Chain A
Amino acid sequence: MTIKKFMFVNRKAPYGTVYALESLEVVLIAAAFEQDVSLAFLDDGVYQLKKGHSTKGIEMKAFEKTYGALEDYDVTKLYVDEESLAARGLTTDDLCVPVEVMSRAKLGKMIEDQDVVLSF
């Protein structure tokens, strides 16, 4: 099967809208198709990775664990925009999975390098 570089660009916070959850579902399928998958988190998308999601009060399904499970699907390329983190008072210590932090410009170059860019 052809292997293409799929980049999933996450720019929205979790729970306020469905995009974070439903885009993760596509990531898992792309990994199952053995594609070269990476995820980019910028703007409010970085909030998806904030550890400690506790959704009992809003009665929504929590999906923080799914980010941790990505490794089992060989999805290990998670790139986070350092400016988005800083603007939100976050550091990598706040995140639920290991990520590679990079400048916005470098992230832009990575996105440019992809075959398929999916935005949600």
Chain B
Amino acid sequence: MLNIVNKSPLDRGSLDSCLQAADGGAILLIEDGVYGATKGSVGEAKLKAAGGKFKLYALGADAEARGIADRMMDGVTLVDYGGFVDLVAEYKTCQSWL
């Protein structure tokens, strides 16, 4: 499944809930969710602790908008909106963790 997370992990528990419940697949961070993948952050620690259970992506346009595209953690692939579409097409279902 494609799990879409749009909120920062220190603002909402959605990333936590996603990491605990989701059965693998991919996580795409969009909107404020991209903060979850910044180096040295609590989000990075949580994503690393998931230990490769998920393929990790972040929407590049959202990271750039927030001035954090240069400090995304290793292991997260930045995608554009076209890449977002491809991810939705690739996975049979998607869930938005709002």
Q: Which residues of A contact B (CB under 8 A)?
A: 9, 11, 42-43, 81, 83, 104-105, 107-109, 111-112, 114-117, 119-120
User: Which residues of B lie under 8 Å from residue A116 when comparing CB positions?
Assistant: 93
User: Which residues of B lie under 8 Å from residue A120 when comparing CB positions?
Assistant: 98
**Interface contact B98-A108, CB-CB below 8 Å:** no
Q: Type the 1/0 row for B1-28, where 1 means its CB is closer than 8 Å to any CB of A.
A: 1000000000001100100111101000
The CA-CA distance from A108 to B95 in the complex, in Å, is 11
B17 vs chain A, min Cβ distance (A) = 5
Q: Which 10 A-B pairs have the closest CB atoms?
A: A108-B21, A117-B95, A119-B96, A108-B23, A112-B23, A104-B21, A112-B1, A104-B20, A109-B23, A108-B22
Number of interface residues of B (CB under 8 A): 16
**Interface contact A81-B93, CB-CB below 8 Å:** no
User: Which residues of A lie under 8 Å from residue B95 when comparing CB positions?
Assistant: 9, 111, 117, 119
User: Which residues of B lie under 8 Å from residue A115 when comparing CB positions?
Assistant: 92-93
The CA-CA distance from A108 to B93 in the complex, in Å, is 13
The CA-CA distance from A107 to B96 in the complex, in Å, is 15
User: Which residues of B lie under 8 Å from residue A104 when comparing CB positions?
Assistant: 17, 20-21
Report which of B13, B14, B93, B97 forms a contact with A112, defined as CB distance below 8 A: B93
